[in-house]
Chain A
C-alpha cells in the first residue's frame, strides 16, 4: 500500500488553535508525523523588551488565555526575585487560590474538549456547563472571565472579602457535587474507554527522555510535580502528586479528572488558611540581574527567564512552556495509531499552541 501524506490542521474542527501535523499514513495507520508550527507566533518575547517591566504583566498574561494567571504570576515572581521583594503571606495564599482556580478551569475545559474529540458531545456540554461556575468565580474575584489580571509585582492586586470567600466556598462545594455525577463517565464509561485505553502510549522511560512535564509525565508513572518544591504557599499546604502508570490517553484523562478534585481541595484549603494583613507591597526601583522561575501550570512546568539591567526595560525575557516540551512526546505517541485516533491523541497532551509559539 502506498503512503499518503495528509495535513492535520492548521484549521481543524478539533483544535481551537492552528497546529499543523503533516501525517504519513499507510492504509489507516500513522507511520510518521512532521509538525509545522509558527501559525501563532507573535514575537511576544521581543515585545517584552520594548515595554516597561510593569506593563509586561499585562502582556505576559496574554501568552495564553487559559493559564493567563500562571504566566503573570511567574513573571511577577521572577521580577520580585531579582529585586529582592518579599511578598506578604496573604498574597502567597491568594496566589495559590488563583492558581488552583485556573487549574480547575483549564482541566474542566480540557476534559470537555477531549469528550468532543471522540464525539461525546453531551459530556462536552456538561463539562463546559460546570466550568461556567468557575468562570463566574473568576469574574467575581479577578474581574474577568478568562484573563485573570490578579497578580502584580509585589503581591496580588485583587484581595478577597469575607463575603466573596463564603460564596467561593459554597460554589466550589457545589461544583464538586456536580463533578461527582460527571467524572464517573470519564472513568468508567465503555465508549470513553474504547476510544482512549491503550491509545497513544508513552512509557515512563520515553516520557523522561523526551522531557515530558506535568500531567503527561504523571500519567506515565513519574511522581513529579513542581508544586512539591513548595513555591508560594504550597509548602505549607498538604499536597501529593497524582500518578497513573499506564501512560495512555486514558491515564492522562484520569490524572486530569482527579487533579480537578485535588485543585478544589487545595483552593479551599488556601482560603481556609488565608492569613490576615496586606495583599500587596509597594515596589520601587528597576530590576537589575537575572533569574529563572518555574511554576506548575495546568499543563505542566513553565520556565521563565528574565534579565534586567537597572532600567525600566528588560534586556531579555524568555519562556519555555509545557506544550513545547510535549511536542516531541506527541511525535512518539502518534505513529502506530489509527487515523481516527489522531485527534484524541493530539488532544491528550492538552496542546496550547499560543503558549508554545508565543
Chain B
C-alpha cells in the first residue's frame, strides 16, 4: 500500500446523502460529528464533495426521484469506496415499506457494504458502522493493489 492508501484508512472522509429518510438518522449523523460523540477522533471528516469522499453514508429508503442523484454521487466517488446504509429505511425500507414511492433499501440502487439498523440509528451504531466499513475499505485497497501488481 502506498502512502495515499494508508492515509485513506487513517482519515476517511465521509459524504452524507439523505435519500428520503425522516431526518432522524441525518441528525444522528450530524450528532456523531459534534462534541459528545466526536467522530473526528477516528480522523473522519464530513465533506460535501463526492470527489473527496471515501465513505458514503446513505439514509432513507430511496425514492424514484432520488435514485438518479444517489447513483450520480456514487459514480463520482473515487475507488476504493464504501457505502454504509444508515437506519432501518436504508436497509429495507423500514416503516415506509408500503409507501408507493419507496424503492425499498439502498441496495436496490447501489451496492452496500455495511448495514446499520435502528430507527433512528444511534450515533454509536453509526460510528461502529463506519469503522466496520474501514475494514472493507482496507480489503478493497489490498485487492486493488494486488490487481495493479499483476
By a beta-carbon cutoff of 8 Å, the part of chain A in contact with chain B is 10-13, 16-18, 38-44, 46-47, 50-51, 58-59, 62-66, 68, 109, 112, 124-125, 128-129, 132, 135, 144-147, 352, 354, 357
Contact status A11-B102, CB under 8 Å:
no
Q: In this assembly, does B24 line the interface, its C-beta being within 8 Å of a C-beta of chain A?
A: yes
Contact status A17-B96, CB under 8 Å:
no
By a beta-carbon cutoff of 8 Å, the part of chain B in contact with chain A is 16-18, 20-31, 34-36, 46-48, 50, 60-61, 63, 65-66, 69, 73, 95-96, 98-102, 119-120, 122
Contact status A147-B18, CB under 8 Å:
no
A38 to B69, CA, bound (A): 12
Contact status B101-A42, CB under 8 Å:
yes
Contact status B102-A147, CB under 8 Å:
no
Contact status A132-B20, CB under 8 Å:
no
A155–chain B nearest beta-carbon distance, Å: 23
A51 to B28, CA, bound (A): 27
Contact status A354-B28, CB under 8 Å:
no
26 contacts between A and B (CB under 8 A): A11-B17, A12-B48, A13-B48, A17-B26, A39-B65, A40-B60, A41-B20, A41-B65, A42-B61, A42-B63, A46-B100, A47-B96, A58-B95, A62-B24, A64-B22, A68-B22, A125-B35, A128-B34, A129-B35, A129-B36, A144-B120, A145-B120, A146-B24, A146-B27, A354-B21, A354-B23
Contact status B66-A39, CB under 8 Å:
yes
- Additional A-B contacts beyond A128-B31, A147-B119 (8; CB < 8 A): A18-B69, A63-B22, A109-B27, A125-B34, A129-B34, A132-B35, A132-B36, A146-B27
A40 to B47, CA, bound (A): 21
Closest partner residue, chain B, to A66 (CB atom): B23
Closest partner residue, chain B, to A45 (CB atom): B99
Closest partner residue, chain A, to B122 (CB atom): A145
Name B73's contact: one of A11, A47, A145, A354 (CB within 8 Å). A11
Q: Given A65-B26, A65-B27, is A59 in contact with B65 using a C-beta cutoff of 8 Å? A: no
Contact status A43-B100, CB under 8 Å:
yes
Contact status A65-B23, CB under 8 Å:
yes
Chain B residues whose CB sits within 8 angstroms of the CB of A47 once the complex forms: 96, 98-100
Chain B residues whose CB sits within 8 angstroms of the CB of A40 once the complex forms: 18, 20-21, 60, 63, 66
A39 to B70, CA, bound (A): 11
A75 to B96, CA, bound (A): 17
Contact status B17-A43, CB under 8 Å:
no
Name B27's contact: one of A11, A16, A129 (CB within 8 Å). A16
